[in-house]
Chain A
Amino acid sequence: MALRALLGLWLGVVIVLGFGLPMVATPVQWYQLPVIPGLEDKARIIFFHVPTAWLAVVGFAMSLIFGVRYLRSRKIDDDIKSSASAGIGFMFCILATVTGAIWAKFSWGTYWNWDPRQTSIFVLLLIYGAYFALRSAVEGEERRATLAAVYSIIAGVTMPFFMFIMPRILSSLHPEPILNTQGKLHMNTIMFAVFLASLIGFTGVYWWMWRLQVRTEQLHHRIGP
């Protein structure tokens, strides 16, 4: 309970700082955020949109890890953990797509323009959409778990390509190149601290949701209607 309260408080502080810290052209005080050319106040999206994409990566990576563990152990618990993680990763992937599209409307003038970043996340949604289609189409617990584990490994291996590589090798309008040119972050200390705090807080939310989903599915497996 204390941890959950701390998580709520943590994210509350992140939201207050994310919205409240002043943004100035040349920060001189420790609490001032730098103006990112072309983004201005919209740069604050980094505190809330990037963590959703991060959790999609965490969710899919955890799904892969527990997929491998299932194939080695054949314990249904590992399948439950793998599918729960893929589900939460998929949800955050949708959120990253939707929030990105809203941002695009006010920065690019359109919700969707098949930018490499949008295209790659769309392909990722299709890949993981097929994962759930596969799960619901296969009869038999063991067969479903085995096929899903193999698929989660294949999908998990393609994920870094769509999340990190493809948007970087193709020319994109996504502001990531402005904030992270040649591996150098263009954020001052306070901006980076709030960003990091947000990533940690959101990861806590993922962990909480994942444990809830896993415990529910384990219960379903034991007493299922």
Chain B
Amino acid sequence: MDFLSQNALFVVLLIVLVVWLGVFLYLSRIDRRLKVLEDAYKKGSQ
């Protein structure tokens, strides 16, 4: 915490990482949903 207080640039870096982590998690959620749909489609076409 002291390190971040003295190095403001790393606070900004932390913020950028949080933003991309959020985007990544949301895309993973869509990916999981697509996987379920793909499996259902495969079952339906068999």
Given the interface contacts A42-B12, A223-B40, does A216 sit within 8 Å of B19 by beta carbon?
A: no
Given the interface contacts A94-B22, A95-B22, A209-B23, does A45 sit within 8 Å of B15 by beta carbon?
A: yes
Quick check: A213 and B30 within 8 Å, CB to CB? yes
Q: How many residues of A contact B (CB 8 A)?
A: 31
Q: Would you list which residues of chain B between 1 and 19 have a CB under 8 Å from chain A?
A: 4-5, 8-9, 11-16, 18-19
Given the interface contacts A106-B8, A205-B23, does A224 sit within 8 Å of B16 by beta carbon?
A: no
Please, what's the 1-or-0 string for A37-68, where 1 marks a CB less than 8 Å from any CB in chain B?
00011101100110010000000000000000
Quick check: A106 and B40 within 8 Å, CB to CB? no
Q: How far is the CB of A39 from chain B (nearest CB, A)?
A: 9
How far is B13's CA from A61's CA once the two chains are assembled, in angstroms? 29
Quick check: B33 and A91 within 8 Å, CB to CB? no
In this assembly, does A190 line the interface, its C-beta being within 8 Å of a C-beta of chain B? Answer: no
Please, what's the 1-or-0 string for B11-43, where 1 marks a CB less than 8 Å from any CB in chain A?
111111011001100110010011011011100
**Which of B15, B30, B34, B40 is close to A49, meaning CB atoms less than 8 Å apart?**
B15
Quick check: A220 and B37 within 8 Å, CB to CB? yes
Q: Could you say which residues of chain A place their CB within 8 Å of the CB of B11?
A: 42, 45, 102-103, 106
**B interface bracket (residues with beta carbon within 8 Å of A):** 20 to 34
Quick check: A95 and B5 within 8 Å, CB to CB? no
Given the interface contacts A19-B12, A99-B19, A223-B41, does A106 sit within 8 Å of B27 by beta carbon?
A: no
Quick check: B34 and A45 within 8 Å, CB to CB? no
In this assembly, does A15 line the interface, its C-beta being within 8 Å of a C-beta of chain B? Answer: yes
**Which of A15, A98, A216 is close to B16, meaning CB atoms less than 8 Å apart?**
A15
Quick check: A225 and B16 within 8 Å, CB to CB? no
Q: How far is the CB of A153 from chain B (nearest CB, A)?
A: 24
Quick check: B15 and A102 within 8 Å, CB to CB? yes
Please, what's the 1-or-0 string for A52-95, where 1 marks a CB less than 8 Å from any CB in chain B?
10000000000000000000000000000000000010011011
- Chain A residue with minimal CB distance to B34? A216
Q: Would you list which residues of chain A between 171 and 217 have a CB under 8 Å from chain B?
A: 205, 209, 212-213, 216
Q: Could you say which residues of chain A place their CB within 8 Å of the CB of B8?
A: 40-42, 106
How far is B30's CA from A99's CA once the two chains are assembled, in angstroms? 23
**Which of A41, A42, A92, A220 is close to B33, meaning CB atoms less than 8 Å apart?**
A220
The 9 A-B pairs at the shortest CB distance, nearest first, are namely: A225-B40, A41-B8, A95-B22, A99-B15, A42-B8, A44-B12, A106-B11, A41-B9, A48-B16
Give me the interface of B with A, judged by CB distance under 8 Å. 4-5, 8-9, 11-16, 18-19, 22-23, 26-27, 30, 33-34, 36-37, 39-41, 44
